Structure 1
């Protein structure tokens, strides 16, 4: 995954030290309840589309941008599904991050599935009972987004 330029500049000042960042995730559900996933180019794993909020960017706009970049699908945000502070993570290069992730339930409104060749190796729609192996945190986001109602899930 390419590192945004604002983050490269910030890393020049803080090195590998822990950075708190805001991430946005899209749980895109089509009319049949299928979930849009992409296979990430950085680790080869299936995941929901998403990325890092850029300076000055609104989270809902960021998640629409990320889905379009990674899958070719244009979405409309329906609601906030989860607000989760993730555990700190260290990348292979030594960079440390801790994400506050905002996951949004979205629905497709246009575009066509495509592999971008940069962030995604594959994209597809999956029935909830046929999801590929994914991290528990991603499965939790999907579960929360599929629940009826509008109250976002967060740790109490």
Structure 2
């Protein structure tokens, strides 16, 4: 994920210490019920599309922008799937960030899936019963987006190991 300019400015002031940030993940489905995934350039793994909102940007706008920037697919946000604070991430350069992720279910409305920037190695549509290897983070978001239930919130009473998507 490319580091937004406003975060680079913050890092000049706070150094490598923990930075609390919003994040938005988009679980995108097409008319055939397939899910859009990107193979990330930074990790080499497949995942749902996501990114950091620009200051003042609404989560749905972030989802639409990030999906288009990374995949050339146009989407509309349909609903909030989950809201969860993630464990801190330690980056190779020494930066530490902790994200509060808002995951949105989105519907593709145009464009052809292709690598559209330097953040992805590949992009593609996958049947939900034939997904590539994914981290639990992405699997949980896809499974929850497939449910018709209400938005999922992690509560203090829940143990992370006991979570079942």
- TM-score using structure 2 length: 0.91
Aligned to 2:152: 153
Aligned to 1:10: 10
The answer to whether structure 1 residue 48 and structure 2 residue 48 are counterparts is yes
Q: 2:82 is paired with a residue of what secondary structure?
A: strand
For residues 82 and 25 of structure 2, the distance between their equivalents in structure 1, rounded to whole angstroms, comes to: 9
Following TM superposition, the consecutive aligned residue runs of length 4 or more in structure 1 with deviations greater than 6 angstroms are: none
| CA RMSD across the alignment | 0.9
1:71 shift after superposition: 0.5
In the alignment, the residues of structure 1 paired with residue 22 and residue 117 of structure 2 have an alpha-carbon distance, to the nearest angstrom, of 24
- Offset from partner CA, 1:112-146 (integer Å, 9 cap, x none): 11112411110100111111111101100100001
Q: Does 1:125 align with 2:128?
A: no
Conservation of the 8 A alpha-carbon contact between 2:72 and 2:114? yes
Whether the 8 Å contact between 2:25 and 2:102 is mirrored in structure 1 is yes
After superposition, residues 105-144 of structure 1 pair within 5 angstroms as 105-144=105-144
Find out whether 1:26 has 2:26 as its counterpart: yes
Q: Structure 1 residue 96 and structure 2 residue 89: aligned?
A: no
Q: Secondary structure at the match of 2:123?
A: strand
2:78 corresponding residue in structure 1? 78
Gaps of 5+ in 1: none
- Show structure 2 runs of 5+ residues with no match: 156-165
